[in-house]
Amino acid sequence: MPRSSFRHEITNAFRPIARVFRNRSNASNAVNQASDQPQQLADAPNRSSIRSGEAHHSPGVPAKDRDKNGLFCLHNPGGDFNVDIVAVHGLSGDSEETWTDDKTNKLWLRDFLPSQFPGVPIRVWSFGYDASVFGKAVIDIEDVATSLVAGLDGERQGTHSTKPIIFVAHSLGGIIVKKALILANERSDIWGDIRDSTHGAIFLVSPIGEQV
């Protein structure tokens, strides 16, 4: 699937999802206003041992010279949020170029997706790994999936641990997401919140029927 078509395909897929969370957000806001109780946000330490967090690259740095491995936050509303959306690219892709329109050079995860959730504060993440044809990811899916689930868990401590998660996966990324959820289930003593908080996934040409 050409990168230029991602925006249209996933925008359509997200519309009903956004409607559900928008309705939930409106109901939650009504309750909060009635109770007039301030919400305390816990600043828990980051338990992740892999590179994760805000991805702010200097505009003049070529894409080939950027560190694209790990979990990158592309949109953060600041303060509290309602949903984590996590994108995982596929074979021969990377954390930015896979989701960037060829013609406009817009990164739709950052430039368009948040507008699909009006009134609903969302965080948008992109997970990167070595997805070259001869890269390590092709050899060891489990290592990459472990990095994904561990990194996400590290960013969701305290009051964030039960926020809903929606995955968006392209190609090989679908297998990685599937394996990450299997690991979260198998290691529920550590990553049970990831398993329980996953509300859905959008797979784009992913062979998710394959054994992992």
pLDDT at residue 41, rounded to an integer: 28
> Cα separation of 55 and 75, whole Å?
9
pTM for this predicted structure: 0.72
pLDDT at residue 102, rounded to an integer: 87
Which mean pLDDT values do the consecutive 10-residue runs of the chain (212 residues) have? 55 59 49 39 32 38 60 90 94 91 91 88 94 69 94 89 92 94 96 95 80 58
Q: Which two tokens stand for residue 47?
A: 């338990």
Residues 6+ apart with CB under 8 A from 210: 175
For 16, the enclosing helix (H) or strand (E) is helix 6-35
> Cα separation of 202 and 6, whole Å?
12
Q: Which two tokens stand for residue 175?
A: 């297998």
